[in-house]
Amino acid sequence: MTEKKSEREFIPLNISVLTISDSRNEETDTSGKRLVDLLEQPGHELFEKKIVPDDIYKIRSQVSQWIANEDVQVILTTGGTGVTGRDGTPEAVNILFDKVIEGFGETFRSISYQQIKTSTIQSRAIAGVANGTYIFCLPGSMGACVTAWDELIRLQLDYRTRPCNLVELMPRLREK
């Protein structure tokens, strides 16, 4: 029911993708590439794509640059949300949030449970908003990125989704 589309027009968003990994490069970054493909399919624009190592200060620095850029409406990160020693994406990004979207991580893990069962507890996927920019921090696996996009993010970044979506709440779009 919440997926119902009305007669509204699609509003393309500028979306940045950040891969967090100590081992990936542009050739081996399958999750980051897949996110770019997924966001471009409905008509969103890739603003920028980068790869940074699992270092909370490098992650925070890049996300902060995009948050400060008025042309970026959404940031998708992939990687660094697990429980190993180097996984620090939630610690890097949480501090930047003006508001946390609690339901995102909860819903993502609930959906993931149907696919990977109890392994979903290892995901610390989070989302929030900072300076009017929506940020989704996803696990590093391509499957998790596809699940998050297809089941949650895609619909919330589509202005036509009823009864509500995140696009109609974006202050940067309302100001233009």
pLDDT in tens, the chain (176 residues): 455 555 899 999 999 999 999 999 999 999 999 999 999 999 999 999 999 999 999 999 999 999 999 999 999 999 999 998 899 999 999 999 999 999 999 999 999 999 999 988 999 999 999 999 999 999 999 999 999 999 999 999 999 999 999 999 997 676 65
Q: What is the CATH number of domain 14-175?
A: 3.40.980.10
Query: What 3-state DSSP class applies to 109?
Result: helix
Domain ranges in the chain are 14-175
**Structure letter (DSSP) for residue 12:** -
Q: What is the pTM of this model?
A: 0.94
Give every CB contact of residue 119 below 8 A, 6+ residues apart in sequence: none
Cβ contact 152:145 at 8 Å: no
